[in-house]
Amino acid sequence: MDVFWYALVGLLLAGYLALESTDFGVGMLMPFAGTETGRARLRRSIVPLFLANEVWLVAFGGLLFGALPVAEGEVLRALRLPFLAVLTAWFLRDGALWFRTAHEGAAWRRAWDATLAGASLVLAAGWGIVLGMLVRGLSTSSDGHAVVTMADLTHPFTLLCAALAVTGSLRQGSLHAARRLPEGSALRVALGRLTRVLTPVLLVLPLLVVATCGMVTGAPVAVGTAAALAAAGVYASDRVQATGRTGAALLLGAAPLAALPAMVGAANGTTVLATRSGVGGVELSRAIADSGSLTLLTATVLPALVLVALGQMWFWRVFAIRPA
């Protein structure tokens, strides 16, 4: 049962990244719109979807606190600086989406467009870096705690995971925005070209993860399988998108983002927070909440998550295909 709760926490994070990747991607695409009309349409393509997508992040944080309270404290302690960057980018991204239309001035809107693009890039890359470091395992401080060093942040495998998250988000954003733009419009055509450029890049990046995972983790087969499935998802997304089924292409194209949390579990098993030295890590048996708390979560959280999933499906059905 402990593994169930750990897997559910990972599933919520995977769901958040898969859904929010469209928002990250659209945000990063703002400077490429070219015209005020194009930028306004890109913004409208993710409003109000981004609020519904963020429910998954809130659910992830709440369940992490409720089911794995020890792990939450240790993870936040070890990753406090990367998480601070991600949290700041989150606030700026949401602020940019709201404040852009608060005034009519061109300079005001350009400033928030640049903020939206930069914050979206930091969000996508930040989650890739955090999860890449967790796959590889953190360093250990002199007092025996897990800690992030500059070498962890700049390790090639970590940067590769960041590139995977950024490229995957860009492709998702271009797919999502294109389906909400007028047929034949210049911006829609440009996004179609961008999707075709990003697809082969996104096929290569997971294969590079497969090639390098043996050097950074003790479970190369499991991690490599998760990365290979990400590449397979992108390939299937490209084939499906060619038939005009953009919704199915978006679902399959989210595989690289969903694969990142899966790689953490594949690499570390029941070690919730792994270190390369083995000192300062957190095992699931120590991180899990007491049985009374888990019983309460079973009675309250699980039904709520079912409602959230159903509500998300309805939300996307209503808002995701309307013209921007």
**pLDDT tens digits, 299-318:** 888 888 888 888 888 877 77
Would 300 be classed as within a structural domain?
Answer: no
Residue ranges in the chain whose pLDDT is less than 50: none
Would 226 be classed as within a structural domain?
Answer: yes
Would 314 be classed as within a structural domain?
Answer: no
Residues 184 and 14: their CA atoms lie apart, in Å, by 34
Would 296 be classed as within a structural domain?
Answer: no
Instruction: Give the total number of structural domains in the chain.
Output: 1
Residues 205 and 195: their CA atoms lie apart, in Å, by 15
Task: Give pTM, 2 decimals.
Answer: 0.93
pLDDT at 323 (0 to 100): 60
Would 90 be classed as within a structural domain?
Answer: yes
pLDDT at 324 (0 to 100): 59
pLDDT at 104 (0 to 100): 83
Residues 75 and 264: their CA atoms lie apart, in Å, by 13
Residues 132 and 111: their CA atoms lie apart, in Å, by 31
CATH code of the domain containing 126: 1.20.1630.10
pLDDT at 222 (0 to 100): 87
In tens, the pLDDT along 259-269 reads 999 999 999 88
Would 161 be classed as within a structural domain?
Answer: yes
Put residue 162 in one of left, alpha, beta given phi > 0 → left and psi -120 to 50 → alpha: alpha
Q: Any idea what DSSP says for residue 138?
A: B
Domain that holds residue 267: 2-290
Would 259 be classed as within a structural domain?
Answer: yes
